[in-house]
Amino acid sequence: MDTTFWEPEGAERLLRPDGSPADGDTDLGDLPLDRLYRALVAARTLDLKIARLGLPARAPWAGEEAVAAAVALATRPDDWVFPGPRDGAIAFLRGLDAEAVAHQLRSADPAAGLPARDAFADPEGHTGPLPRGLGHHLALATGTARAQALEDTEHVTVATFGEGTTTTGAFHEALSLAAAAELPLVFVCKSLVWPEGAPAEAGTVGDPVYERVRALGVRTVRTDGACAAATLRHLADAVRRARDGKGPALVEVVVTPAIFDPPAERDPIERLRRHLDRIGKWNRTFQDVAEAEVATRLERAFRAYEEATP
Q: Tell me if 118 sits within 8 A of 50, measured CB to CB.
A: yes
Q: Is the residue at 270 inside a domain?
A: yes
Q: Read off the pLDDT band of 183 (50, 70, 90).
A: very high
Residue 308 has a CB neighbour count (10 Å cut-off) of: 9
Residue 124 has a CB neighbour count (10 Å cut-off) of: 9
Q: Is the residue at 10 inside a domain?
A: no
Using DSSP bridges, classify how beta strands 219-224 and 249-255 pair: parallel, antiparallel or unpaired: parallel
Q: Tell me if 42 sits within 8 A of 294, measured CB to CB.
A: yes
Q: Is the residue at 9 inside a domain?
A: no
- The string of pLDDT tens digits covering residues 86-106 is 898 999 999 999 998 888 887
pLDDT score recorded for residue 181: 95
Asked whether the predicted pLDDT for residue 107 surpasses 70, the reply is: no
Q: Is the residue at 252 inside a domain?
A: yes
Q: Is the residue at 131 inside a domain?
A: yes
Length of the chain: 310
Q: Which of 44-53, 73-82, 157-166, 301-310 has the highest mean pLDDT?
A: 73-82
Lowest mean per-residue pLDDT among 28-37, 187-196, 275-284: 187-196
Q: Tell me if 65 sits within 8 A of 92, measured CB to CB.
A: no
Q: Read off the pLDDT band of 9 (50, 70, 90).
A: confident
Domain span at 104 = 33-308
Residues 6+ apart with CB under 8 A from 131: 115, 137, 140
What is each CA distance from 226 to 112, 247, 300, in whole angstroms?
32, 27, 31
Residues 6+ apart with CB under 8 A from 24: none
Please give the single-letter amino acid code of residue 167: T
What CA–CA distance (Å, rounded) separates 45 from 54?
15
Phi then psi for residue 42, to 5 deg, are -65, -45
CATH number at residue 224: 3.40.50.970
Torsion of CA 94, 230, 249, 203, to 10 degrees: -90
Q: Tell me if 260 sits within 8 A of 254, measured CB to CB.
A: no
Q: Is the residue at 120 inside a domain?
A: yes
Edge-to-edge strand list for the sheet holding 219-224: 80-82, 157-162, 185-192, 249-255, 219-224
- The string of pLDDT tens digits covering residues 38-55 is 999 999 999 999 888 877
202 compared with 148, residue with greater pLDDT: 148
pLDDT score recorded for residue 2: 46
Q: Is the residue at 171 inside a domain?
A: yes
Residue among 77, 76, 71, 103 at smallest CA distance from 89:
71
Q: Read off the pLDDT band of 242 (50, 70, 90).
A: very high
Q: Tell me if 306 sits within 8 A of 109, measured CB to CB.
A: no
Instruction: Give how many domains the chain has, as a whole number.
Output: 1
What is each CA distance from 131 to 79, 109, 141, 149, 225, in whole angstroms?
19, 16, 12, 24, 25
Task: Tell me the pTM.
Answer: 0.90
SS3 (DSSP) at 192:
strand
Q: Is the residue at 266 inside a domain?
A: yes
pLDDT score recorded for residue 283: 96
What CA–CA distance (Å, rounded) separates 184 from 247?
5
Q: Read off the pLDDT band of 127 (50, 70, 90).
A: very high
